[in-house]
Amino acid sequence: MAEEFITHSAEETTRWGREFAARLKAPVLVLLSGELGSGKTTLAKGIVSGLGAAAEEEVTSPTFTLVHVYGREAKVYHADLYRIESQADFETLGLEEVFAAPAVVILEWPERFAPRTEWPQVRLRLEHLGGDARRITVLSGE
């Protein structure tokens, strides 16, 4: 059964992500679905900081840079697949190396392109509920 949570501010979503991070163990792929502005990057800030890989304010949207890497030994990757349309595009990200060693890989717009990996997945869906309210649904990993 899917778990659902409602948040009422960006801060609350970040806090939720920090707590959710305790449930993540590398190697794992975290897929963040949801429209523009639904809070994927805001949630990623919480996950990355909850994993102890970077401070919240260091986590910014990888929209233009495509992939950000945080952490020293335990790596956390955060990528945005919004502009990825083909295997060739995907390869330009250099994500193959990412999957060579256990890490936490957070992907925004995973429906744009599905990376080929056997890693366990956790799917989180974000939805606008009007104003600053958002629903976060944990669609159990498979």
DSSP state of 109: S
Decide: is 37 part of the binding site for ligand ADP (CB under 6 A).
yes
Decide: is 61 part of the binding site for Mg ion (CB under 5 A).
yes
DSSP state of 87: H
How many C-alpha atoms does 78 have within 13 Å on its Cβ side?
25
First to last CA, the chain: 13
Q: Which residues contact 138 (CB under 8 A, 6 or more apart)?
A: 2, 3, 4, 5, 20, 122, 123, 124
Alpha carbon distance 45, 61 (integer Å): 9
Q: How many residues make contact with ligand ADP (CB under 6 A)?
A: 18
Of residues 17-56, those binding Mg ion (CB under 5 A): 40-41
Of the candidate spans 3-11, 45-53, 58-66, 115-123, the one that interacts with Mg ion by CB under 5 A turns out to be 58-66
Of residues 98-127, those binding ligand ADP (CB under 6 A): 108
- Nearest approach in angstroms of CB 101 to ligand ADP is 26
- Measured in residues, the chain has a length of 142
- CB-CB contact of 134 with 13 (8 Å): yes
Decide: is 41 part of the binding site for ligand ADP (CB under 6 A).
yes
Q: For ligand ADP, which residue of 17, 31, 34, 48 counts as binding (CB under 6 A)? A: 34
Of the candidate spans 9-17, 20-28, 92-100, 116-124, the one that interacts with ligand ADP by CB under 6 A turns out to be 9-17
Contacts with ligand ADP, residue ranges (CB under 6 A) = 7-10, 12-13, 34, 36-42, 61, 108, 132, 134
